[in-house]
Chains A and B, each alone.
Chain A
């Protein structure tokens, strides 16, 4: 439903990618202005680290610059292509992190939510968002990816399946399970708060 309203959006992105393929840096800047924010939000929440997300999104747009000519509008939407590149880069980045953590060069922790956690506890609404972030960080990686692709990327199930390289059925399962786990987490947190207040 939501995608049906913005029918001109893919065409704009297709035109921008065609111009990028022809070497237009202004088109790249425009594409970054359109999708940079969404991709950064997706990467930051998937990786749990704003710095890594920034690196990943920069890499994504460098890849777009180099490979824009390979994009075929007949095969899918530009946004799906962008999120696919971002998802792959995020998985690579996560593996690098895990390896560095394994050999003791890094400690892996959520570096997006933690700085604001105390300030957010001041209001109920912000506290709920902090709980959602916490719930997201606890989801299995593929469920988290599916939930974020839906909520942040506004991708439908078919596009999520394409980004994740899975069947439509398994993408739907991941989304359903991720949402259920997130709801359970929210319900548990609400129950905990209810006990504290009583």
Chain B
């Protein structure tokens, strides 16, 4: 069987090669096996898969996951995990800096808010009276 014939069979019988009728099934499986052997990428993938084999107990994994789920449901909200990650800490620090900057600007603005009379005095070049208000400029200095 060629690759074109395989594709035609797939359109005809569906994707599940094992469900194809004989002799198409055996021919298709033989082609797949041959392509796997001829394909250097597939050979490398098999090698990587074999190299990646690692011991592990799936039952133990399931037990640990279920224990974590049970423990997680009782965990207090303030220990929210993302906040403990580097990205979470960085985000919190950035938020705190922005909040502190805004608060600083706000406090400084309240303290330094110039009164209308001060602005008027500044614009006209006059000095301010002790009790507030603008002192008249007797010699016309500073007037435009």
Please list the residues of chain A having a beta carbon within 8 angstroms of any beta carbon in chain B. Answer: 1, 4-5, 7-8, 25, 28-29, 32-33, 36-37, 40-42, 44-45, 50, 53-54, 57-58, 61-62, 65, 92, 95-96, 99, 112, 128-130, 132-133, 136, 147-148, 150-152, 179, 182-183
Give the number of chain B interface residues (Cβ < 8 Å): 35
- The residues of A that contact B17 with a CB separation of less than 8 Å are 4-5
**CA A7 to CA B18, docked complex, whole Å:** 10
Are the CB atoms of A112 and B54 closer together than 8 Å?
yes
Are the CB atoms of A151 and B48 closer together than 8 Å?
yes
Main secondary structure of the interface of B (DSSP, over half): helix
Are the CB atoms of A65 and B54 closer together than 8 Å?
no
Query: Which B34-87 residues have a C-beta within 8 angstroms of A?
Result: 35-36, 40-41, 44-54, 56, 58-59, 61-62, 64-66, 68-69, 72, 85-87
Tell me which of B10, B53, B54, B65 contacts A32 (CB under 8 A).
B65
Q: How many A-B residue pairs have CB under 8 A?
A: 104
Nearest to A60 among chain B residues (CB) is B65
Known contacts A1-B32, A36-B61, A95-B86; decide if A50 and B54 are in contact (CB<8 Å): yes
Closest CB in chain A relative to B81 CB, distance in Å = 9
Tell me which of A7, A61, A183 contacts B65 (CB under 8 A).
A61
Are the CB atoms of A62 and B68 closer together than 8 Å?
yes
Q: Is B16 part of the binding interface, using a Cβ–Cβ cutoff of 8 Å?
A: yes
Q: Is B137 part of the binding interface, using a Cβ–Cβ cutoff of 8 Å?
A: no
**CA A45 to CA B85, docked complex, whole Å:** 22
Please list the residues of chain B having a beta carbon within 8 angstroms of any beta carbon in chain A. Answer: 10, 15-18, 32, 35-36, 40-41, 44-54, 56, 58-59, 61-62, 64-66, 68-69, 72, 85-87
**CA A112 to CA B56, docked complex, whole Å:** 12
Are the CB atoms of B52 and A182 closer together than 8 Å?
no
Closest CB in chain B relative to A83 CB, distance in Å = 14
Are the CB atoms of B61 and A129 closer together than 8 Å?
no
**CA A170 to CA B36, docked complex, whole Å:** 24
- The residues of B that contact A44 with a CB separation of less than 8 Å are 52, 54
**CA A137 to CA B54, docked complex, whole Å:** 15
Are the CB atoms of A32 and B51 closer together than 8 Å?
no
- The residues of B that contact A25 with a CB separation of less than 8 Å are 66, 69
Are the CB atoms of A7 and B15 closer together than 8 Å?
yes
14 contacts between A and B (CB under 8 A): A4-B10, A7-B15, A7-B16, A8-B16, A28-B66, A32-B62, A32-B65, A36-B61, A57-B61, A58-B61, A58-B68, A152-B49, A152-B52, A182-B48
**CA A176 to CA B48, docked complex, whole Å:** 14
Are the CB atoms of B52 and A128 closer together than 8 Å?
no
- The residues of A that contact B10 with a CB separation of less than 8 Å are 4
Are the CB atoms of A40 and B65 closer together than 8 Å?
no
